[in-house]
Structures are given as structure tokens and as C-alpha cells.
Amino acid sequence: MNISVAIDGPAGAGKSTIAKIIANKYNLMYINTGAMYRAVTLVAMNQDISVDNISNLMSLMEGMEMHFENDNLILNGENVQPLLTTPVISNNVSNYAQIPEVRKNLVKLQREMGKHYNVIMDGRDIGTVVLKDAKFKFFLTASPEERANRRYEELKNNGLDVKYDDILSDIIKRDYIDSNREIDPLTKAHDAIEIDTTGLDIDGVVNKISNYINGSVK
């Protein structure tokens, strides 16, 4: 079976969790594009490179080697996955992700991955930009309150001291930035299947997506 799957949606809609399960179920390479933008944000902030310093950002990205191993993003030989979901990265990633030069660089890398492997990618612009010809496109969404609660529980379970109201405020802010940026805004592809995950558990969402895939793949 030679397929590619695109999963888009706002922050906290469950894209990564669902994509990992679908990847294992159908033997696809899972590519977490959001983690790639978070990795750029992580390194840029560690080196005090602001969103306005495009030249230094481009030089920084030229020296970044990224690939995935067992759902973890390996950056220059180091597993940085645990660092990518911290509040400070979540609060800043949209600012770096809306930079045209950053997007162009990572989209090119993501498309190359899609050409050589059976893949599933999740992000904000997979079905509309990165994998425009993907056979299967899904757009996951949920209410801001539901998404904030999921992220709150995830971070609390990881031992972080966080406040629900702060996370909700950040998600609403990120929704606005992602949906209104000039380059590749968050939007549902015209041929994507929308799934509202509010009130659905993981198995329920996986079953919905699997039914579509199973019904189309012969």
C-alpha cells in the first residue's frame, strides 16, 4: 500500500497522538512537522536569535540536521523531543513558524521526505501546502477549552507547574496567529475530511480515520 496521509488542525487538537497511532497501524513514517518548527524555535531562543534576525536564522538552519527516531526528533545527534513541548517553546513557536524563510526551508525538507517514503504528517499546512496531492487528508479540531485541558493534563503529567488559564490564553493566541499569518495560514484543505474531536477519545478518532482509509484503499 503506497499512501500519504495529511493531518492538519489547530494546537491541541490531538494531531500528533492520532498520527503516531495511524503510522503504526499502516506502517507509515510519522513526520511531526510541528516538532521541526519547535526545534528551530528552541535553538534560536537558546542562541538569542530574534524573529527579526532573518540572516542569522537562515545560517542557524543550515547547520541543523533533523530526523525522527521512534517518534523523537533528533537534532544534530541529540534527542530534543522532551524540550519541545515546554511552555516557553509553545509560547514562541508561532512567531518563528510564520517567518516565510523558515517555512520555505522546512516545507522543502518535508516534501522531500514525502517523495521517498510512505508518510503521515501532521501540522498546520500539510494538506494545503506540503502534501497537496496526499490521498488522505484530515482536519482535526476541538473547542479551545477542550484543547487547553488536554495540554494542561499532558504538561501536569510531565511534572510541569502550569495554569489552565495561561494555556487557554496561549491556545487562543496561537489560533489567531496561525490562522491569520500571511504565508501558509492554518486552513482546512477543500478536500480534507473534518473531524471534531471534542468529546471523542483517542480510539474514537482513530476509528473514524481508519474507516476512511480502509474504505478507499483496495
CA distance linking residue 180 with residue 95, whole number of Å: 12
| Residue count (the chain) | 218
Residues 6+ apart with CB under 8 A from 198: 141, 142, 143, 146
Provide the 10 A C-beta neighbour count for residue 17.
17
- Say if CB 197 and CB 142 are below 8 A apart: yes
Check whether 114 is labelled as a binding-site residue: no
Check whether 77 is labelled as a binding-site residue: no
Check whether 12 is labelled as a binding-site residue: yes
CA atoms within 13 A on the CB side of 23: 22
Check whether 16 is labelled as a binding-site residue: yes
CA distance linking residue 177 with residue 137, whole number of Å: 23
Check whether 9 is labelled as a binding-site residue: yes
List strand residue ranges (DSSP E) for 41-125, in order.
66-69, 72-75, 78-79, 119-123
The cell for 100 is 516565510
**193 sits in which H/E element:** strand 193-196
Check whether 97 is labelled as a binding-site residue: no
Check whether 82 is labelled as a binding-site residue: no
CA distance linking residue 173 with residue 91, whole number of Å: 9
Provide the 10 A C-beta neighbour count for residue 167.
24
Residue type, 112: E
Binding residue ranges = 9-17
Binding residue ranges for ATP = 9-17
